[in-house]
Amino acid sequence: MSKVIYRITYPNGKVYIGMDLTGTLLYFGSVNGPLVEADFTPDQRQNFTVRKDILWESEDAPDSEVRRREVEFIRELRSNDPAVGYNRWPRLPPPDETPQHLGSDGNVQRSADARRTRR
């Protein structure tokens, strides 16, 4: 069974990055449907083609590594930026936040000094 990280590309060029731990060919992720639908007119929905491409694949990686790599691809391809894609997690840091480092959960961890200056 192959585990994969995939990219779904929509007709407007926006992308969704997801993972599949079962290797199912027809799995297209759990994108927020209303979020995607809001970007297309009723006429555009009449002939709608999406593309799925495999970005990374492994036969033996632990599920935890697949999840970690999914987050890496989301950040690298900026699919969590609403102008670029439909991923809403991990959260895109506001432009005024400079990440100090990333925690083990993939979220931005800020230093105590940085938190004090924002108050």
6 burial (CB, 10 Å; 0-12 / 13-18 / 19+) is: buried
Question: What pLDDT, in 10s, does the model give residues 54-99?
Answer: 999 999 999 999 999 999 999 999 999 999 999 999 998 877 664 5
Name the CA radius of gyration of the chain, rounded: 17
| The one-letter amino acid at 17 | I
Please list, in sequence order, all residues whose beta carbon lies within 8 angstroms of the beta carbon of residue 50, skipping any fewer than 6 positions away. 8, 9, 10, 11, 28
Q: What is the pLDDT of residue 23?
A: 87
Domain ranges of the chain: 3-88, 94-119
Q: Are 5 and 68 in contact (CB under 8 A)?
A: no
Please list, in sequence order, all residues whose beta carbon lies within 8 angstroms of the beta carbon of residue 6, skipping any fewer than 6 positions away. 17, 18, 19, 20, 29, 52, 53, 54, 55
Q: What is the pLDDT of residue 119?
A: 37
Q: Strand runs (DSSP E) across 21-96, as ranges?
A: 51-58
64 burial (CB, 10 Å; 0-12 / 13-18 / 19+) is: exposed
Could you give the CA distance from residue 2 to residue 21 in angstroms, rounded to a whole number?
Answer: 7
- pTM (whole model) above 0.85: no
